[in-house]
Amino acid sequence: MSGEILVKAVDVCKSFGGFKALDNVSLEVRKGEVCCIIGPSGSGKSTFLRCINLLERIDSGAIWANGELIGYRREGDRLHEMSDAEIARQRRGIGMVFQRFNLFPHKTALENVIEGPVQVLRENPKAAREHALELLARVGLADKCGNYPAELSGGQQQRVAIARALGMRPSLILFDEPTSALDPELVAEVLEVMNDLAGSGMTMIVVTHEMGFARNVSNNVAFMDGGKLIEYGPSERVLTRPDNPRTADFLRAVQ
């Protein structure tokens, strides 16, 4: 671990109407770290990931990723909203894997992985294809390149989605409950791919209810409740000796 901070959120607030979905959330993730975010439904976990990935605009506070302020550029001491092109550029460096795999249904596994690198990154199609084949092999799907999403199990589709995120050569991948939509017997194959990815040094922020993954793979665990980041620290400590009674209550309920 280099110690370099890759993601930094400071006092992030986000409201929908009068409802505060994120209430002064601050968090730092270092390069190569895996951070799991846990917490009850409606606590703001997805909203937080969506703010990092610029799918939502924050109301106040600041988020840095890859050393850049997200969504804003500074001129003197004033902040200006970025242009759509600037936002698109920043989003390219941040992979996102959703609960629902969101693959293109009319494209094969291989075409799904190639699409972004060729269309968005303007990679040479032959090189993009080579890279996509490598990535599909890495997620254990070398023999499924020519299959359409409907021909794959949920676990296989989610592994294609991870390969697709990797195709964009992100410096960071956000996972929003990547195994929650899967049949129980398909969860392990996706967690194994994520475990490998963590082992390869990828920086990951993972919203999950998989406590085994949080305990065994993540470096740090963040507990959110009611839009607030209640507790954040080394996984082992937070999961076994939480400081906050709300974290303890939540852990008792899920374990």
Binding site for Mg ion (CB under 5 A): 46
Helices first, then strands: H and E counts in the chain: 9, 12
Q: Is 226 in the site for ligand ADP (CB under 6 A)?
A: no
Residue 198 CB contacts under 8 Å (≥ 6 apart), including other chains: 34, 204, 217, 218
Integer Cα distance of 60 and 58 in angstroms: 6
16 lines the binding site for ligand ADP (CB under 6 A):
yes
**Neighbour-count burial of 197, counting CB atoms closer than 10 A to its CB (0-12 exposed, 13-18 middle, 19+ buried):** buried
| Among residues 7, 12, 21, 182, the one that binds ligand ADP under rule CB under 6 A | 21
Determine the size of the site formed for ligand ADP (CB under 6 A).
Answer: 10
Nearer to ligand ADP, 25 or 163 (CB): 25
| 167 lies in the binding site for ligand ADP (CB under 6 A) | no
What character string, x for contact with ligand ADP (CB under 6 A) and - otherwise, covers 30-59?
Answer: ---------x-xxxxxxx------------
- Cβ burial of 194 (10 Å; 0-12, 13-18, 19+) is buried
Instruction: Work out the angle at residue 96's Cα, subtended by the Cα atoms of residues 92 and 99, and round it to the nearest 5 degrees.
Output: 155
Residue 9 binds ligand ADP (CB under 6 A) = no
Q: Which is nearer to ligand ADP, 21 or 58 (CB)?
A: 21
Residue number, 16 or 104, with CB nearest to ligand ADP: 16
